[in-house]
Amino acid sequence: MVVVELWCILLLLALALVALPASRQGLGGPVVYGGALLVSLAACATGAKALAGGDASALSLPLGLPWLGMHFRIDALAAFFLVVVNLGAAAASLYSIGYDRHESAPLRVRPFFPAFLAAMNLVVVADDAFSFLFSWELMSLASWALVMAHHREEANAHAGLVYLVMASFGTLALLLGFGLLAGPEGAYQFDAMRTAHHAPWLAALVLALALLGAGSKAGIVPLHVWLPLAHPAAPSPVSALMSGVMTKVAIYGLVRIVFDLLGPPDWWPGLVVLALGGITAVMGVLYALMEHDLKRLLAYHTVENIGIIFIGLGLALAFRANRLFEPAALALTAALFHVFNHMVFKSLLFFGAGAVQVETGERDMERLGGLIRPMPVTSFAFLVGCVSISALPPFNGFVSEWLTFQAILLSPELPQWGLRILIPGVGALLALAAALAAACFVKAFGVTFLGRPRSDAAVAASEADRFSRAAMLVFAAICLLAGTLPGFVIDALAPVTQGLVGARMPTQSADPWLSIVPIAASRSSYNGLLVFFFILLSASLAAAAIHRLASRALRRGPAWDCGFPDPSPSTQYSAGSFAQPIRRVFGPVFAAREHVSMPPPLSTAPATIHVTLRDLVWEAIYAPLGHAVAFAADRLNHMQFLTIRRYLSLVFAALVVLLLVLAIWL
Amino acid sequence: MTPFAFDVAHLLAGGLVLVSFVLLYQDRLYALLKVYALHAFVLSASVAWQAYVQDAPHLYATALIALAFKAIVIPLALRRIIERLGIHREIEAVVGIGVTMLAGMALVALSMVVMLKVTPGAAPLAREDLSFALAVVLLGLLMMTTRRNAVSQVVGFMSLENGLVLAAAGARGMPMVVEISFAFSILIAFIVIGLFLFRIRERFDTVDLSALHRFRGEIR
Amino acid sequence: MTVLPFDAVAALLLTPLAAAVVLTLLPGHRLKAQVNVAASFLTLLAALSLLVAMRPAPSTFLLIDDLNIVFIVLGSFVGFTTSVFSASYIAHEIETGRLTPAYLRFYHAMYQVLMFAMNLALVSNNIGLMWVAVEMATLTTVVMVGIYRTHEALEAAWKYFILGSVGIALALFGTILVYIAAEPVIGEGLLSMEWTLLSSRVADFDPALLNVAFVFLLLGYGTKVGLAPLHAWLPDAHAEGPTPISAVLSGLLLNVALYAVLRFKILLAGNLAAFAPGPLMVTMGLSSAVFAVFMLYRRRDIKRLFAYSSIEHMGIITFAFGMGGPLANFAALLHMTMHSLAKSGIFFAVGHIAQVKGTQRIADIGGLTVTNPWLGWSLVVGVVAIAGLPPLGIFTSEFLVVSSTFARAPVLAVVLVLGLLVGLGALVTRLNGLAFGEPRGEQHPGEASYAPMLAHFALVLGAGIYLPGPLVEWFRHVSSILG
Amino acid sequence: MALIFGLAVQGVQMFLVLLAAPLLTGLVRRVKARLNRRCGPPLLQPYRELWRLLRKDVVLAESASWLFRAAPYLIFASTWVAAALVPTFATGLEFSWTADLIAIIAFLGTARFFQALAGMDVGTSFGGIGSSREMMIASLAEPAMIMIVFTLALIAGSTQLSTVAEVMVAGVGLRVSLALALVALVMVAIAENGRIPIDNPATHLELTMVHEAMVLEYSGRHLALIELAASLKLVLYVSLIACVFAPWGMAAAGTGAVPALAGIAAWAVKLGIGGALLAMFETSIAKMRVFRVPNFLGAALMLGLLATLLRFVSAGM
């Protein structure tokens, strides 16, 4: 099992090495991405097999620190995440075969793409602190190189800087955490950490550090700032990987540390994680609503979905701390299910955004529109993605959020008042986030694909190439399948929850009509398949009946528009105007300012509206930090320009101080 | 060792510290050089006395080097440099003479305190000498850091180095004292040559190149 | 262990010395460069033979033990690669006329003298001899730093000279104090300066004297290590001297000085009554590291930039040695090795870059990965290495330093981590300007052998992925010696 | 046999709601007219209008895409399915387990999603206004609704409407949280159905319309379907309120035809009362400005949250 996986990783690294020579032969794209596709599929199959098999398989290689070696292990959790990672990787590779032809700097992408995949696989199978952090940081490094692929744009260089610093911040936080877990003797093996008993304060500290480390990678507020910078900067398949897959690897890290290594913690960590999740979900979707750059919008939505996943994890923590294992299993299943779902539809959406960017050269929604006609397949797939991410039945996004709600409804069984007070609020935040997400994706799809083209580029657009279309359609199909047959996914997750919280949800696939029943049929149940068929049935029924009994005639005419149709596309509702009501409602979050200047009567000057939004998180935390560093650097910089005499006096001062220390203390 | 011998050694070492203070007190370059000559002379006397007391003949060589080189050659060389380069004759002190003296006092006290912690196991002579030597070293550093003129800084360094030689001589049967003092003389010679080569008039910090090329016969 | 037909230690010392003599007589810089390379190679062979050879018993002056053999092998390797690099570098400098043969008359001889001095400092069994050797190395580098004879170069050399001399004096005072401490126990004469004796008998020395001595030694040799606030000479010397010398300074001299400090640390650790040297080294190391990372931000000269990063890393190494314990010591040794290789490799790259772009001003260098892919990406690799990112070796050592420290002194670890983060920010900012973005600055033709650079980076990369077992066993043994 | 009966009940339910929907709309219009001292249209007028629209040709804007034509069927279908799953005259419907209350709300969400998209499809300014306002309203109404669901689920220990209804029939006594939930639910229902004071189904004054603005470009059978879906939605909410807060007279699962018929009668009465109350409420107040809507719905959300909190806190005791 693990051997096969390691061979896959090795093959990916080999691909990274042959990328440049192959490119010199002029077949770099097919070789690298085709190879990556095959290897990822193999690794995905391995993961699925391990998940089905259930038994953990381990292996250690004499690499890294010799007395430690590099340990690898595939248990249920790792297997599940292997499936997630490699499924996304396979789709991204397939997409890249086509995208590579439009890539402006292919040689800066091809070598690092497989390396990035390999690193993510390594993180998942790592079984000791060293190899975990090694591959974790390798993952950051490879993705940083990919972000820097289009390094000639100033913004991308800045994005790369912020990204790498934040990533290393996370790694160092995790490093400190592992340092605590390992103890002064350096017991870096995960087994040792599992068996070791950790003092409560230590567990708390480790948890905080893990939240900082994994959270900064996953993008929880306020550690999310790099996401909307880095994800759009990278080439679209890489954006899909970073947003859809890498953030999931971060979630894996958190689950591995908190659920697996740390042993049973106190109840309040659940509180913290829940609160973070709720805030992250709502903040993320609000930022996304205010965004007009399609890829930045998607990146912010990643923040939102990470929040939703965190809510599930927090619930699971809280339940587990109170030894309510079935509810914990339910919550954890919901979180992991959402991990899978988000991987699928976020990759799908980024593929779509990438196709749009390739065909039109635009990412700004205000200059797009009407793409549903030139790009039918892309727009259809994108629509499926939008419906799924908006948590609308019968697609997969709804199922995981529904499960989360069911878990929330079990929380009155919790004894702690803090949780009792907090959880309903978090539930409200979750519902709010879901509703806002729907609004946001009406905006995203409506402005980008519907209406009339807002620029010549949008007029001249054409359908994406067949590889991209294939990748998108496959994921669209998965969205529908996972939404209509969720029982199988839940059952597949059973070994994971069994291993982590010592319980599992009741077997679903045996239920009549393949519906899912989290606890008991009398309590709640949902059947995506039947629902899907009902809607399909009644829709076609209505259509057939109407066409047969009533009329089927259809005339084309100019738009009615209350009698004042205006040919200019600029009269359409724009993304900004669409978001305006919500901006009014949630204005304080962005310290939004609207400045309207109305010309005086009889003046022909155009009226203008000027909207300013501020990223309060950045202003509150990151800008001050940057200023502090700059200030210190400026102050200390004088040390470079002293005279020799002053340097001598420094030496002298050091000597005198040390002698004084000797004289006084010793 | 007889108490008398001990007292003389003590006296000479203390004298060296005293002369260091006198160095600190100077505000004219020529006077400074004269006092430094005195400093070197006292040092050579002290070293010679150590040679006599420990009957270590090689120390006489050290004393000789100190006398010939430091007490005579270097002061003369520096004097000529001052004339050749037209360095003006006052010493600009960073802080007032008085403050410098007070700091010097504090340093001496410090060196005493540090050295008196030394357990009586060590030879008493070594102990006393060490505290004085440390004081001389510190005072030399103080001079280097509180004087602006290159020449006075060089003098400071040389007095510091005298402290080293004093310590080395005080260390019973220390090998290579001669070599060390010789090596240091070379070092000092380098510094002095550097002063001259680079036409360092006022400070250590700026070196004047045109002069250098003229010296090397290259006219740019 | 085999017995060699020749005396490896003698070869280690005499080869450079003889080469120096020959090089002063030889004409023509190309020939000199070749002889230089050959001599360095022989020295390297001698050093390697020490690994397999039966170790000579410690004599009055010479000593080979596990500790200094690490430094010897590392040093002679960097010395060899640098001599190869120096050949192409000097050739190019003469073509462009920045250096004339007249200036270079003694360059290669000096280089060998430097090698000799450093080897001597490492193998000497006598604190006085070690002092002499270290100072000799310092003065040699002073001359070589000033070799361009530009105003800045001469000022840098002068600064280095003055501060170095004070360092010399302090170190000597410390040495004398150690002798005075040892003399009542061991007796007069050279014996009281022998390592082997000192370290065996140190328990009976006068602790108070040892304390004072260590303060002076730490400051004296610490000046050469480049610990803040004694570092002032280091950036200018790196920036204004010829790049091979910058590489040697960062790759060797700093280590040699550190070796001296370590020796005395061991000595002090042997005497229970004396104060523990650890905290002092930790303080100075940490302060240098934190100070240096902030200095990285405002640098305009590419070589000065990396010089400050050397200060940072020497700080980290000193910090780790100060923390002590098997893990930290191992990490420090590994970090020192990796840093020597990576940093000298970076200076090789920077030397080529400065020659291709005709400047050292960061503002005039940009988009190297576009214009000179090999140099550009090597620079990226080097910076990634010294930024402590995998898969390169420094990641391993930083992993060990931080994780082992955090369990014992969390606050220190946090400070160190923040320092690392700030430094990473500075390095990546500069890297964005140097290696990425639109190409900037003019382009000069420059063909050079990238072999040394690539060799160094390959080693660092290899060590990051796989450390051979024997090496590790050896390092662990050494770290157990360091206590 | 039982299965067939169950399927039959389910089928009856589906077509019952479909038939009753225009009637309820007509009733509300009628009562409003009466309250305004007008005689008003006959009760069956909505049927006529639907039939007229169905037979008319569809006039499609040039810029309309396939989505614009598919949307009405999707909207109608998902609304219809949602309505068919709400127990009206009998609990324990055959397919009630396919979707619980959360899912039913989500179906309405799907319908709204496509309606908003259709509003933006033609690329007019009014469609955009409608969509953006609709989504803004929904983004507050949905959380409020979810909070209400939480309250009910915590009281009944289930999100399954049949179970809820049964528990309610059994009687849970008077609860503060229940009262709060009722108020919130009514407010949400008003908002969701675009009734006064949130929106005016009768208006065509451009700047005030929300729902009407979205469907401005629709005509013929498409418009008919959307109108029908709208009235279905009204029926859904009324019978939802009825089934939760007035669950009396509903036939239990598997009981014969007689209770079922009684249930139908009871349901008709409930619908009538609901419609009358709605009409009175609408005539008694004026429409509010669009930007005061958030306050209205925010109040609903707070009420729902308060109700849930009360349940959470009291659950421990």
The pLDDT assigned to C3 comes to 62
Q: Which of A259-268, C92-101, C311-320: highest mean pLDDT?
A: C311-320
The pLDDT assigned to B10 comes to 85
Asked whether B164 and C176 are in contact (CB, 8 A), the reply is yes
Asked whether A607 and A596 are in contact (CB, 8 A), the reply is yes
Q: For residues A589 and A613, what is the distance between their CA atoms, to the nearest angstrom?
A: 9
Question: Has residue A289 been placed in a domain?
Answer: yes
**Cα A612 to the chain's mean position, in Å?**
27
Using CA of residue A361, residue A365, residue A368, residue A370, what is the dihedral sign? positive
pLDDT per residue as tens digits for the range C24-49: 888 888 899 999 999 999 999 999 98
Mean predicted confidence (pLDDT) in C110-133: 93
Q: Which residues of C touch B119 (CB under 8 A)?
A: 206-208
Identify any residues that bridge with C301 across adjacent strands, giving them in sequence order. Answer: C361
Mean predicted confidence (pLDDT) in C306-333: 94
In terms of C-beta distances under 8 Å and separation of at least 24 residues, what long-range contacts does B2-10 make, across chains too?
B5/B49, B5/B53, B6/B124, B6/B125, B8/B49, B9/B46, B9/B49, B9/B50, B9/B53, B9/B125, B9/B128, B9/B129, B9/B170, B10/B128
- For residue B215, pLDDT over 70 is answered with no
Question: Has residue A69 been placed in a domain?
Answer: no
Asked whether B27 and B90 are in contact (CB, 8 A), the reply is yes
Mean predicted confidence (pLDDT) in D286-291: 84
Under 8 Å CB-to-CB from A57, ≥6 apart: which residues?
A1, A2, A50, A73, A74
Under 8 Å CB-to-CB from C28, ≥6 apart: which residues?
none
| Confidence band of B216 (pLDDT split at 50, 70, 90) | very low
| Confidence band of A19 (pLDDT split at 50, 70, 90) | very high
Mean predicted confidence (pLDDT) in A576-600: 87
User: Greatest CA span in chain B, whole angstroms?
Assistant: 66
Q: Are residues A272 and A403 both part of a single domain? A: yes
Q: Are residues A430 and A303 both part of a single domain? A: yes
pLDDT per residue as tens digits for the range A327-357: 999 999 999 999 999 999 999 999 999 999 9
The angle formed by the CA atoms of residues D17, D20 and D21, to the nearest 5 degrees, is 80
Residue of A63, A625, A629 to mutate, testing the C interface (most C Cβ within 10 Å of its Cβ): A629
Q: Which residues of A touch D66 (CB under 8 A)?
A: 372, 376
For residue B112, the tally of other CB atoms under 10 A from its CB is 16
Mean predicted confidence (pLDDT) in A57-80: 89
Token output for D268: 């008709």
Mean predicted confidence (pLDDT) in A69-84: 94
Mean predicted confidence (pLDDT) in A497-509: 89
Which chains lie within 8 Å of chain B at 3 or more CB pairs, if any? A, C
Q: For residues C356 and C370, what is the distance between their CA atoms, to the nearest angstrom?
A: 13
Task: Match 């280690």 to its residue by tokens.
Answer: C12
Domain total of chain B: 1
Among A158, A639, A658, beta carbon nearest to C215? A658
| Confidence band of B125 (pLDDT split at 50, 70, 90) | low
Residue contact A644–B204, C-beta within 8 A: yes
pTM of the model: 0.94
Among A523, A535, A562, beta carbon nearest to D160? A523
pLDDT per residue as tens digits for the range A373-430: 999 999 999 999 999 999 998 899 999 999 999 999 998 888 888 888 899 999 999 9
DSSP B76-123: HHHHHHHHHHT--SBPPBSS-HHHHHHHHHHHHHHHHHHHHTS-TTS-
The angle formed by the CA atoms of residues C447, C448 and C452, to the nearest 5 degrees, is 160
Domain total of chain A: 2
Segments forming the whole domain that contains residue A332: 264-538
Question: Has residue B162 been placed in a domain?
Answer: yes
pLDDT per residue as tens digits for the range A360-379: 998 999 999 999 999 999 99
Among C128, C161, C176, beta carbon nearest to B194? C161
pLDDT per residue as tens digits for the range B2-17: 778 878 888 898 999 9
Token output for C109: 């001889």
CA proximity to A286, closest of A439, A63, A99 = A439
The pLDDT assigned to D206 comes to 63
Asked whether C356 and C374 are in contact (CB, 8 A), the reply is no
Which chains lie within 8 Å of chain A at 3 or more CB pairs, if any? B, C, D
Residue type, C128: G
Asked whether D267 and D89 are in contact (CB, 8 A), the reply is yes
Per-domain residue ranges for chain C? 277-483
Under 8 Å CB-to-CB from A483, ≥6 apart: which residues?
A388, A393, A394, A395, A396, A397, A398, A399, A528, A532
Residue contact A573–D80, C-beta within 8 A: no
pLDDT per residue as tens digits for the range C231-244: 999 999 999 999 99
Q: For residues D160 and D97, what is the distance between their CA atoms, to the nearest angstrom?
A: 7
Residue contact C169–B160, C-beta within 8 A: yes
Residue of B144, B152, B157, B206 to mutate, testing the A interface (most A Cβ within 10 Å of its Cβ): B144
Mean predicted confidence (pLDDT) in D248-262: 81
Could you tell me where the beta strands, DSSP code E, fall in chain D? 58-61
Identify any residues that bridge with A293 across adjacent strands, giving them in sequence order. Answer: A364
Question: Has residue B220 been placed in a domain?
Answer: no
The pLDDT assigned to B211 comes to 47
For residue A644, the tally of other CB atoms under 10 A from its CB is 23
Q: Which residues of A touch D52 (CB under 8 A)?
A: none
pLDDT per residue as tens digits for the range A162-212: 999 999 999 999 999 998 888 777 788 999 998 888 888 888 889 999 999
- For residue C72, pLDDT over 80 is answered with yes
Task: Match 């991308």 to its residue by tokens.
Answer: A156
Residue contact C169–B137, C-beta within 8 A: yes
Residue of A636, A650, A656 to mutate, testing the C interface (most C Cβ within 10 Å of its Cβ): A636
Asked whether D242 and D186 are in contact (CB, 8 A), the reply is no
Mean predicted confidence (pLDDT) in D96-125: 92
Q: Which residues of A touch C440 (CB under 8 A)?
A: none
Chains D and A touch (3+ CB pairs under 8 A): yes
pLDDT per residue as tens digits for the range C75-95: 999 999 999 999 999 999 888
| Residue A432 backbone phi and psi in degrees, to 5 | -60, -45
Question: Has residue A477 been placed in a domain?
Answer: yes
Residue contact D102–A402, C-beta within 8 A: yes
pLDDT per residue as tens digits for the range A511-559: 777 888 888 888 888 999 999 999 999 999 999 999 998 888 889 988 8
pLDDT per residue as tens digits for the range C364-417: 999 999 999 999 999 999 999 999 998 899 999 999 999 888 878 889 999 999
Token output for D81: 């399915």
| Confidence band of B119 (pLDDT split at 50, 70, 90) | low
DSSP A381-438: HHHHHHHHHTT-TTSHHHHHHHHHHHHHHTGGG---HHHHHHHHHHHHHHHHHHHHHH
Interface confidence, given as ipTM, is 0.91
Mean predicted confidence (pLDDT) in A238-266: 92
For residue C468, the tally of other CB atoms under 10 A from its CB is 12
Task: Report how many Cβ contacts below 8 Å link chain A to chain B.
Answer: 39
Chain C residue with CA closest to A145: the answer is: C380
Residue type, C173: F
Residue contact B190–C161, C-beta within 8 A: yes
Residue contact B203–A643, C-beta within 8 A: yes
HSE of D144, CA atoms in CB hemisphere, 13 A: 28
Question: Has residue A462 been placed in a domain?
Answer: yes
Under 8 Å CB-to-CB from A206, ≥6 apart: which residues?
A177, A180, A181, A198, A257, A262
Q: For residues A441 and A454, what is the distance between their CA atoms, to the nearest angstrom?
A: 19
Mean predicted confidence (pLDDT) in A306-322: 95
Q: Does C209 touch chain B (CB under 8 A)?
A: yes
- For residue B208, pLDDT over 60 is answered with no
Among D95, D121, D312, beta carbon nearest to A412? D312
Using CA of residue C78, residue C79, residue C85, residue C86, what is the dihedral sign? positive
Question: Has residue A127 been placed in a domain?
Answer: no
Chain B residue with CA closest to A652: the answer is: B141
Average pLDDT, chain D: 89
Rounded percentage of chain A residues whose pLDDT exceeds 90: 70
| Confidence band of B122 (pLDDT split at 50, 70, 90) | low
Residue contact D132–A579, C-beta within 8 A: yes
- For residue B118, pLDDT over 80 is answered with no
pLDDT per residue as tens digits for the range D161-183: 888 888 888 877 778 888 999 99
Rounded percentage of chain A residues whose pLDDT exceeds 70: 100
Q: For residues D131 and D210, what is the distance between their CA atoms, to the nearest angstrom?
A: 7
Task: Match 């040799």 to its residue by tokens.
Answer: C221
Residue of A640, A652, A658 to mutate, testing the B interface (most B Cβ within 10 Å of its Cβ): A652
The angle formed by the CA atoms of residues D11, D13 and D17, to the nearest 5 degrees, is 125
Mean predicted confidence (pLDDT) in C283-312: 95
Does residue B154 or residue D92 have the better pLDDT?
B154
Radius of gyration of chain D (CA): 19
Residue contact A645–B117, C-beta within 8 A: no
| Confidence band of B220 (pLDDT split at 50, 70, 90) | very low
Q: Are residues A471 and A356 both part of a single domain? A: yes
Question: Has residue A110 been placed in a domain?
Answer: no
- For residue A54, pLDDT over 80 is answered with no
| Confidence band of B207 (pLDDT split at 50, 70, 90) | low
The pLDDT assigned to A276 comes to 95
DSSP conformation class of D172? -
Rounded percentage of chain B residues whose pLDDT exceeds 90: 27
Per mean pLDDT, which range of C51-55, C340-344, D118-122 is the poorest? C51-55
